[in-house]
Amino acid sequence: MDKTAVIIGGGPAGLMAAEVLSGHGINVEVYDAMPSLGRKLLMAGKSGLNLTHAEPFEKFVLRYGSRKVEVEHWLKDFTPDDLREWARGLGVETFVGSSGRVFPKEMKASPLLRAWLKKLDKAGVNFHLRHRWKGTIRPVGLTHDNDSSSQTYGTVEVEFETPDGIKTVKADAVILGLGGGSWRRLGSSGEWVDWLNQAGVKVEALKPSNCGFDVGWSPIFQEKFDGHPIKSVVLSFGDFHQQGEFIVTKEGVEGSLIYAVAALMRDEILANGSAVMRLDLAPDKTETQLIERLSKPRGSRSMASHLEKTVGVKGVKAGLLREFVPKDDFANIEKLAFYMKQLPVPLIATRPLDEAISSAGGVSFESLDENLMLKNIPGVFCAGEMLDWEAPTGGYLLTACFASGRVAGTGVMKWMGENRGQMKEKEGNC
CA atoms of 80 and 57, how far apart (whole Å): 8
173 or 45: whose pLDDT is higher? 173
Return the pLDDT at 2: 86
Strand partners, 7: 30, 175
Closest CA to 210 of 150, 156, 264: 264
| Model pLDDT for residues 42-75, shown as the tens digit of each residue | 988 888 899 999 999 999 999 999 999 999 999 9
Q: Where in the chain is the domain with CATH 3.50.50.60?
A: 4-208+359-429
Helix (H) or strand (E) holding 214: strand 213-214
Mean pLDDT over 323-331 rounds to 91
| Model pLDDT for residues 132-144, shown as the tens digit of each residue | 999 988 888 655 5
195 pLDDT exceeds 80? yes
Is residue 237 very low, low, confident or very high in pLDDT (cuts 50, 70, 90)? Answer: very high
| CB distance 224 to 319 below 8 Å | yes
**CA distances for 48 relative to 85, 256, 378, 382, angstroms:** 19, 14, 39, 28
| Model pLDDT for residues 240-267, shown as the tens digit of each residue | 999 999 999 999 999 999 999 999 999 9
User: Rounded mean pLDDT of the chain?
Assistant: 92
Lowest mean pLDDT among 13-17, 95-99, 376-380, 414-418: 414-418
Longest dimension (CA), the chain: 102
CA atoms of 253 and 259, how far apart (whole Å): 10
DSSP state of 393: S
DSSP state of 187: T
Return the pLDDT at 396: 96
| CB distance 29 to 7 below 8 Å | yes
φ, ψ for residue 245, nearest 5 deg:
-150, 160
Is residue 184 very low, low, confident or very high in pLDDT (cuts 50, 70, 90)? Answer: confident
Total-model pTM: 0.89
CA atoms within 13 A of residue 217's CA, in its CB half-sphere: 19
User: Could you tell me the fold of the domain covering 4-208+359-429?
Assistant: FAD/NAD(P)-binding domain (3.50.50)
Query: Within 10 A of 26 (CB to CB), how many other CB atoms are there?
Result: 21
CA atoms of 10 and 34, how far apart (whole Å): 9
Q: Which residue spans within 255-357 are E strands per DSSP? A: 275-280, 343-347, 349-350
CA atoms of 422 and 282, how far apart (whole Å): 68
CA atoms of 281 and 382, how far apart (whole Å): 44
φ, ψ for residue 418, nearest 5 deg:
-65, -45
Beta strands at 380-382 and 173-176: parallel, antiparallel or unpaired: parallel
CA atoms of 95 and 104, how far apart (whole Å): 6
222 pLDDT exceeds 90? yes
333 pLDDT exceeds 50? yes
| Model pLDDT for residues 389-416, shown as the tens digit of each residue | 999 999 999 999 999 999 999 999 999 9
